[in-house]
Amino acid sequence: MREFMNITKALADAHRVRMLLALRGGELCVCQITELFGLAASTTSKHLSILYQARLVESRKEGRWIYYALPGKDTPVVAREAMRWAEKALADDPRALEDTVRLKKILALDPVELCKRQCRK
């Protein structure tokens, strides 16, 4: 029951669902996710923490940067099914499609410079 409740909590926020959809293309730095959604770094981190607790994302630290990705094969079945459902339900969502276009532009930026710029905000 706990896993199910953590997943439903994680999926109950549009930003968190959009973050999951953004991670379909691969691993992203917190700075890239923050830039994509225009949120404060602390808000982005809180959302990612909730997704992590629900086992919908994995993280790794490299130096001072933290990267997030969709989890691997050891993810609980209920989490994988929730992700498939969200992807299918939002395949044609205009906001998710906008995020995809915007993310391509962000990925073209130097991540180190992007992180430095966000630290100055």
Calculate ∠ Cα 105-87-16, nearest 5°: 65
**pLDDT, position 106:** 93
pLDDT exceeds 80 at position 87? yes
CATH of the domain at 38: 1.10.10.10
Q: Give SS3 for 93.
A: coil
Whether the model pTM is above 0.85 = yes
Task: Give the pLDDT confidence of 1-60 residue by residue, as tens digits.
Answer: 888 899 999 999 999 999 999 999 999 999 999 999 999 989 999 999 999 999 999 999
DSSP 75: S
Q: What is the span of the domain harbouring residue 80?
A: 2-120
**pLDDT, position 72:** 86
**pLDDT, position 121:** 61
**pLDDT, position 115:** 80
User: Could you give the number of structural domains in the chain?
Assistant: 1
Q: What are phi and psi of 71, to 5 degrees?
A: -70, 165
Tokens of 58: 């994995």
pLDDT exceeds 80 at position 108? yes
